Amino acid sequence: MQERDRRLVSLFGARGLSSLLLVLVPVFAGLPGSERLFTITSFVVLLSIVLHGGGIGLFIRRHGAAPAPTEAPAAIAPPVPVRQAEEQVPTRISIDEMRDLLARGEPIVVVDSRANRNYEPETITAAGAVRVNPDDPIRDATALRLSQRATLVVYCA
């Protein structure tokens, strides 16, 4: 998350929910005057939402909207067309099949997705393998700018 986004969430995040939940305690307990307290709290929360909603517009006008990417980085290939349903995509690949793909010049990315408990003590890795954290593989693959056209050969423990 970018710093700008963090500021936006911290300024305009969910506000008033805890106030409404807390004011419901005396309402459910049946205390006298609790309905009036609930009405006042609801009005204040609604006013806060309106002010914060307007504040978001002012914030975006002042700081500008997030810049839209003008073009994809050169390392990222354009999206691959969705495969047809009748096309069978293998879920497993043998080392011999991977070597055959390499021999034919097919683009391959070897991905090491072992959990940290298995990755850290090990000193042996596959040649040219890219480390991707299995807890957040999309973030890592995006940060590493892995090719979208290559065959991903993923291995784990």
Total domains present in the chain: 2
Q: Clarify whether residues 146 and 103 are in a common domain.
A: yes
Ordered DSSP codes for 59-102: HHHHH-PPPPPSS--TTSPPPPPPPPTTS---S---HHHHHHHH
Strand partners, 153: 110
Look at residue 46 and tell me if it is in a domain: yes
Look at residue 82 and tell me if it is in a domain: no
Look at residue 79 and tell me if it is in a domain: no
Can you give the pLDDT at residue 102? 85
CA pair distance 97, 91, nearest whole angstrom: 12
Look at residue 88 and tell me if it is in a domain: no
Q: Clarify whether residues 51 and 99 are in a common domain.
A: no
Token code pair at residue 39: 């009405």
Beta strands (DSSP E) in the chain are 108-112, 130-131, 151-155
Q: Clarify whether residues 57 and 103 are in a common domain.
A: no
Look at residue 40 and tell me if it is in a domain: yes
Q: Clarify whether residues 53 and 101 are in a common domain.
A: no
Look at residue 28 and tell me if it is in a domain: yes
In this prediction the pTM is 0.40
Domain that holds residue 125: 95-155
- Classified as helix, coil or strand, 14 is coil
Q: Clarify whether residues 59 and 99 are in a common domain.
A: no
pLDDT greater than 90 at residue 144: no
DSSP for residue 124: -
Look at residue 84 and tell me if it is in a domain: no
| Last-in-domain residue among 63, 86, 112 | 63
Look at residue 76 and tell me if it is in a domain: no
Confidence of residue 87 (pLDDT cuts 50, 70, 90): low
Q: What is the pLDDT of residues 105-131, one digit of tens each?
A: 888 888 888 877 777 777 777 777 888
